[in-house]
Amino acid sequence: MLTRVLHIESVFMVKSKKRADGQISEKVSKHYRLWHDRLILEIQRALPQEGYIVQHTENLVGLFTCVFVRKALVPSLKDVAITTVKRGMNGMYGNKGAIVARFVVEDSAICFINCHLAAGQGHKRARNQDLSAILEEKSVFTASGNVLGYVGGGDGSMISDHEVCFVRKLNQTAPKEKC
């Protein structure tokens, strides 16, 4: 039922760098602007009758997310938010971490998590610790007044408060050196 009503594409960019009129600020790098424009073009080309808009964009070092929502669905969205969780150098830098986007549609709380974690077999423990810390973060979002859409009586401030969560991880492997 939900997939019939809601069509979303996820990629990445920063809310604070987006103007109120929907245009991206000059602070956003050319690389992310090109991705943003290309994504909009491809959504319009693939789904010309649907009418999608960019609801949110956010970026973190190496990550860029765009959340597209069908225009007809926008009035039914509540508690729309996007944020970042930094995990690099004990939470000081965004070279590792996640972009987390959420909203409530009808009575379902939906959360998208785009992670950039340590690569390679030797960093499995660090990767698992970072993902665990991201998922258990106490105040990813500010608490919502709408408790109807959240799981277990949560207030929407934690990832685990959301009924449906999508996790995408990126961990690049360094090229192997030739002997």
For 120-149, what is the mean pLDDT? 82
Tens-place pLDDT, residues 146-162 = 666 688 778 888 888 88
SS3 label, residue 124: helix
SS3 sequence, 3-14? HHHCCCCECCCC
pLDDT at 176 over 60: no
DSSP label at residue 175:
P
Q: Give the chain's length.
A: 179
User: Do 76 and 130 meet the contact criterion of CB atoms below 8 Å apart?
Assistant: no
User: Is 149 among the domain residues?
Assistant: yes
User: Is 178 among the domain residues?
Assistant: no
User: Is 176 among the domain residues?
Assistant: no
Tens-place pLDDT, residues 45-104 = 998 888 898 888 888 887 888 888 999 999 999 888 888 888 877 766 677 889 999 988
User: Is 175 among the domain residues?
Assistant: no
Beta carbons within 8 Å of 120's beta carbon, 6+ residues apart: 171, 173, 174
- pLDDT band at residue 27 under the 50/70/90 scheme: low
Closest by CA to 82, choosing from 44, 50, 116, 55, is 55
User: Is 44 among the domain residues?
Assistant: yes
The reported pLDDT for the residue numbered 3 is 30
User: Mean of the per-residue pLDDT values for the chain?
Assistant: 76
CATH number, residue 45: 3.60.10.10
Helices (H), 14-80: 30-46
Based on the structure, what is the number of domains in the chain? 1
The reported pLDDT for the residue numbered 67 is 87
Bridge-based pairing of strands 108-116 and 93-105 is antiparallel
User: Is 128 among the domain residues?
Assistant: yes
User: Is 177 among the domain residues?
Assistant: no
Domain that includes residue 79, residue range: 2-170
